[in-house]
């Protein structure tokens, strides 16, 4: 009789234990793998379907999109590297976390989301580009680049040795991936983890991994339809910028042509020094791969003596070729990390996020770089995968912003969001819910002027159809008095200003105070400013009210 009972009870007990283990696994807090590039445009990810990416696909990032949710309307709060990273860490707008410009400013008294994850039992790590002027806060492990970092044989500092940088041999993207895997290999296996993988790539000046140098040579990428934009229908900011491919990209630095060095010209010398900052650190094998492609290409270019539109098109093509060759290594890195998760049975309970610190111009309006509130700069890619919780291969068109990332991570971990954190968790959208109270518009603010690219200060509001932008502030060196750190000797902002002024970089820009209004439905390329035009009175009034509401609610102290 006891044997018969045992035959019944033991299988039931085993089934109960198995169900218990399954339940524990289903309800366990997920791991978080956050992958962020520097300046990776949506146009350079084939899952987004742009003409450029069709010729230079990103199969591993696409693979992530197929197993998760692709966001069509993810935006940044301030389209600049360090401010964007500060938004990520704090879930706060730039004026709330202090990081308005590129270098100094982050308020380290603000809570960084990894601190809260640590307290909740997560093991936290960051590898690659940190790029904030403070010690990594809230991380059990870090292995970070020196400032912006170099592509070839860069220097890193590691946990417990902040500020002590040592050179490592290899390519930045591959090394960052290697250190990500080291964290995953050596973590405490009984804890959930949150790992931030921050690539330097594809930041200017687009030096590809040796095996990918010249991989798109001969590929003719389509010119954006706005490439020859003359900015006639916009305010002065669109004309006084210095981010035009034809006029402002440097042949020596950006296109790797040291043969054009002119030792009598200050700008030529500065551009050459920038190029040698990468070339001078290469190994013999790396330099051989570089020379094999660029020396004959440069010789052909010099012999061709291009000018005018022919030169502009040559610049565009070679900018995109180098940029996309850099992206090839990023895509391989994503594939390596996804393969690692699967091989170690971590893929089912790991949220994987892929994004960029902001958007980037790939020739639209004739530009490169970012900063403006116009669409290509304001938009950033966002893909989130969480098997069993986020439906596969779906798209979302709701308006989300990078201040939402920190609250989302906290929600995954079951951590209560601090009251002061401005962003909103994305969980309702990830679950496919139609949230009636989700935002219908968003606020943007750019502060970093006068400095590289000379994009004027501006803020604005964007809703699902319209965008209102306000450009403001003193022009040229007169604007320095409006900024905090540019006036303080010894700061990075001051030193950068001093250098640019010495090279006659600054224009005699006018003081500005004007609005631009765009109908994104009828004018998605933002070619026609309709502010003040007949028939726009009602929408202008609505957007002006909303913009002023944002300024008041958020206590914006500069505009």
pLDDT in tens, 384-408: 999 999 999 999 999 999 999 999 9
pLDDT digits (tens, 9 = 90+) for 181-239: 999 999 999 999 999 999 999 999 999 999 999 999 999 999 999 999 999 999 999 99
Q: Write down the mean pLDDT value for the chain.
A: 94
pLDDT-derived band at 512, boundaries 50, 70, 90: very high
The mean per-residue pLDDT over the stretch 114-140 comes to 98
The mean per-residue pLDDT over the stretch 50-57 comes to 96
CA nearest to 330, candidates 52, 132, 62: 62
pLDDT digits (tens, 9 = 90+) for 331-360: 999 999 999 999 999 999 999 999 999 999
Is there a contact between 242 and 248 (Cβ–Cβ < 8 Å)? Answer: yes
Task: List all residues 6 or more positions away from 452 whose beta carbon is below 8 Å from its beta carbon.
Answer: 242, 496, 500, 505
Please state which CATH class domain 29-211+313-553 belongs to.
Answer: alpha beta
DSSP per residue over 435-474, as a string?
-TTS-SEEEEEE---SSGGGPPPEEEEEESSEEEEEEEE-
Residue 558, pLDDT score: 81
10 Å CB burial of residue 165 (0-12, 13-18, 19+) is middle
Phi–psi pair at 339, nearest 5 degrees: -65, -40
> Cα separations (Å) of 515 from 454, 539, 540?
18, 13, 10
228-232: long-range contacts, CB 8 A cutoff, minimum separation 24: 228/366, 229/365, 229/366, 229/527, 231/365
pLDDT-derived band at 503, boundaries 50, 70, 90: confident
Residue 435, pLDDT score: 81
Q: Which two tokens stand for residue 241?
A: 């910028």
10 Å CB burial of residue 143 (0-12, 13-18, 19+) is buried
Cα–chain center distance at 429: 22
Residue 12, pLDDT score: 40
Residue 484, pLDDT score: 93
Distance spanning both ends of the chain, measured CA to CA: 85
pLDDT digits (tens, 9 = 90+) for 406-437: 999 999 999 999 999 999 999 999 999 888 89
4 pLDDT more than 70: no
Q: Which two tokens stand for residue 224?
A: 């954006």
476 pLDDT more than 80: yes
The mean per-residue pLDDT over the stretch 169-192 comes to 98
Total Cβ atoms within 10 A of residue 456? 26
Residue 5, pLDDT score: 44
Q: Which two tokens stand for residue 317?
A: 């093509």
Tell me the sheet residues that pair with 517.
Answer: 468
The mean per-residue pLDDT over the stretch 352-381 comes to 98
Tell me the sheet residues that pair with 70.
Answer: 383, 395
Phi–psi pair at 532, nearest 5 degrees: 85, -5
451 pLDDT more than 90: yes
Q: What are the start-end ranges of the E strands in 402-457?
A: 441-446
Residue 436, pLDDT score: 84
CA distance 399 to 52: 25
CA nearest to 473, candidates 106, 77, 100: 100
**Preceding amide of 89 cis, omega within 30:** no
Is there a contact between 374 and 392 (Cβ–Cβ < 8 Å)? Answer: no
11 pLDDT more than 70: no
Q: Rg of the Cα trace of the chain? A: 25
CA distance 296 to 184: 43
pLDDT digits (tens, 9 = 90+) for 537-547: 999 999 999 99
20 pLDDT more than 70: no
Residue 10, pLDDT score: 43
Q: Helix, strand, or coil here: 325? A: helix
CA distance 11 to 15: 6
91 pLDDT more than 70: yes
479: which DSSP letter?
Answer: G
Residue 28, pLDDT score: 79
Cα–chain center distance at 198: 9
Q: Which two tokens stand for residue 539?
A: 């929408």
CA distance 378 to 360: 8
50 pLDDT more than 50: yes
CA distance 165 to 157: 5
- Does pTM surpass 0.85? yes
pLDDT-derived band at 17, boundaries 50, 70, 90: very low
The mean per-residue pLDDT over the stretch 523-535 comes to 98
98 pLDDT more than 70: yes
What b/e string do you get for 405-431 counting C-beta neighbours within 10 Å, with b at 16 or more? Answer: bbbbbbbbbebebbeebbbbbbeebbe
Residue 156, pLDDT score: 98
Q: What are the residue ranges of helices labelled H in 146-283?
A: 172-186, 237-240, 245-248, 266-279
pLDDT-derived band at 54, boundaries 50, 70, 90: very high
Positive or negative, the CA dihedral 245, 315, 249, 82 is positive
Cα pseudo-dihedral 317, 322, 324, 327, rounded to 10: -170
Q: Which two tokens stand for residue 213?
A: 């140098």
Residue 246, pLDDT score: 97
* Domain positions in the chain: 29-211+313-553, 224-312
Q: Which two tokens stand for residue 127?
A: 């590898």
CA distance 58 to 326: 11
The more confidently predicted of residues 251 and 557 is 251
**Percent of the chain beyond pLDDT 70?**
95
CA nearest to 64, candidates 344, 394, 429: 394
CA distance 538 to 530: 12
CA distance 429 to 68: 12
Q: Helix, strand, or coil here: 395? A: strand
Element (H, E) at 117: helix 113-119
Side-chain half-sphere CA neighbours of 243 within 13 A: 23
477 pLDDT more than 80: yes
Is there a contact between 531 and 523 (Cβ–Cβ < 8 Å)? Answer: no
9 pLDDT more than 70: no
Positive or negative, the CA dihedral 539, 540, 544, 547 is positive
């Amino acid at each position: 009789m006891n044997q018969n009972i045992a035959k019944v009870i033991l299988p039931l007990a085993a089934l109960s234990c198995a169900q218990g283990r399954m339940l524990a696994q289903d309800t366990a807090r997920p791991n978080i793998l956050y992958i962020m590039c520097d300046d990776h445009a949506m146009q350079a990810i084939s899952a987004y379907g742009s003409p450029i990416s069709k010729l230079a696909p990103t199969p591993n990032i696409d693979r992530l999109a197929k197993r998760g949710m692709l966001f069509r309307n993810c935006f940044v709060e301030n389209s600049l590297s360090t401010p964007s990273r500060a938004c990520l860490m704090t879930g706060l707008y730039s004026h709330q976390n202090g990081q308005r410009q590129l270098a100094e400013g982050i308020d380290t008294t603000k809570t960084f989301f990894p601190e809260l994850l640590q307290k909740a039992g997560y093991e936290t790590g960051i590898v690659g580009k940190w790029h904030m002027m403070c010690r990594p806060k809230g991380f059990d492990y870090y292995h970070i680049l020196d400032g912006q970092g170099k592509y070839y044989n860069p220097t890193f500092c590691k946990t417990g040795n902040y500020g002590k940088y040592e050179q490592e041999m290899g390519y930045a993207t591959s090394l960052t991936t290697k250190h990500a895997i080291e964290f995953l290999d050596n973590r405490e296996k009984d804890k959930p983890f949150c790992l931030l993988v921050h690539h330097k790539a594809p930041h200017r000046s687009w030096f590809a991994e040796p095996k990918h140098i010249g991989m798109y040579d001969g590929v003719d990428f389509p010119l954006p339809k706005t490439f020859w934009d003359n900015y006639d229908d916009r305010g002065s900011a669109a004309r006084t910028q210095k981010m035009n491919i034809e006029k402002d990209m440097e042949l020596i630095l950006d296109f790797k042509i040291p043969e054009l060095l002119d030792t009598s010209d200050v700008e030529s010398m500065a551009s050459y020094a920038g190029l040698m900052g990468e070339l001078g650190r290469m190994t013999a094998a790396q330099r051989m791969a570089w020379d094999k492609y660029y020396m004959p290409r440069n010789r052909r270019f010099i012999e061709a003596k291009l000018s005018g539109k022919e030169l502009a098109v040559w610049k565009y093509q070679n900018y995109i070729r180098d940029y996309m060759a850099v992206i090839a290594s990023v895509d391989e890195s994503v594939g390596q990390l996804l393969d690692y998760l699967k091989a170690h049975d971590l893929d089912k309970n790991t949220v994987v996020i892929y994004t960029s610190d902001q958007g980037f111009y790939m020739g639209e309006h004739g530009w490169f770089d970012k900063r403006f509130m116009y669409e290509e700069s304001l938009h950033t890619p966002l893909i989130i995968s969480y098997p069993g919780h986020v439906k596969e291969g779906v798209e979302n068109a709701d308006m989300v912003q990078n201040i939402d990332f920190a609250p989302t991570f906290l929600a995954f971990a079951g951590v209560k969001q601090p009251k002061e954190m401005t962003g909103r968790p994305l969980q309702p959208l990830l679950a496919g819910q139609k949230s009636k109270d989700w935002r219908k518009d968003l606020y943007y603010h750019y502060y970093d002027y006068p400095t590289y690219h000379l994009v004027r200060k501006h803020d604005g509001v964007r809703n699902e159809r319209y965008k209102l932008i306000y450009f403001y502030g003193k022009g040229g060196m007169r604007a320095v008095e409006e900024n905090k750190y540019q006036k303080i000797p010894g700061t990075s902002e001051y030193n950068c200003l001093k250098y640019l002024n010495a090279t006659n970089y600054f224009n005699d820009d006018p003081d500005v105070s004007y609005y631009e209004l765009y109908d994104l439905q009828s004018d998605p390329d933002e070619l026609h400013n309709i502010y003040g035009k007949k028939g726009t009175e009602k929408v202008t009034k609505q957007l002006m009210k909303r913009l002023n509401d944002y300024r008041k609610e958020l206590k914006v102290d500069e505009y």
